[in-house]
Homo-oligomer: A and B are copies of this chain.
């Protein structure tokens, strides 16, 4: 017969493995403030005794909480409840198509430019290639339920995606396509406010004095630039959201 604190099995659906039950127990204690940030938590030995499991099982639970940023561990000292500021302020920028679908809305795109060019100084600087290098350049507008949501101005390195220009970007986003053909290993991006260019204003149905949210993103693999995109969104029509709840 298992002790009261021993990881148990419920009727019907399979119970979570003991290491997950221990994680959940500790998470709940953290959530209800039993240990405020900086507070010392029970040692591995304590938890081994409490849950009647092996130390490796307890260790896995604690290490995963540590990797999730919920606890801090110091060799020889102990395990402490963590302050959650850093982990609670993370957010993820999504592919526009996926984002719109997740809202239960309809995404469509119109292609306004798709051609090979010699890189201008701006293009070269944005993509990280040499002046006059051959680059692919697309300008696409994305809509949610018929409303312009994003103007995507993108340069692509032909070396990484030679067939880029033959793709129908009314059916698949460049982001999605490039994921398949040009896997990334590094990315840099920035989020800022600004004003649209005249062209962007026109494509988005804005005045050039209307504020926009600009996400710039550049991806690289093995030192080779893959793509650089400038994603422009009308203020009031688009925001990036984040939620944190362990």
Chain A residues engaging chain B, CB cutoff 8 angstroms: 30-33, 36-37, 56, 64, 67, 83-86, 88-95, 175, 179-180, 183-195, 209, 211-214, 217, 219, 221-222, 233-236, 238-246
The CA of A53 and the CA of B32, in the complex, are separated in Å by: 41
A-B contact pairs, 16 of them (CB 8 A): A83-B183, A89-B187, A90-B91, A91-B189, A186-B243, A187-B242, A187-B245, A188-B242, A190-B239, A190-B240, A191-B240, A191-B242, A192-B213, A192-B239, A192-B240, A195-B235
Secondary structure type dominating chain A contacts: mixed
How long is the Cα–Cα vector from A64 to B239 in the complex, in angstroms?
32
B91 touches A85 (CB 8 A): no
A213 touches B191 (CB 8 A): yes
Measured between alpha carbons, how far is A239 from B175 in the docked complex, in Å? 22
Q: Are B245 and A186 in contact (CB under 8 A)?
A: yes
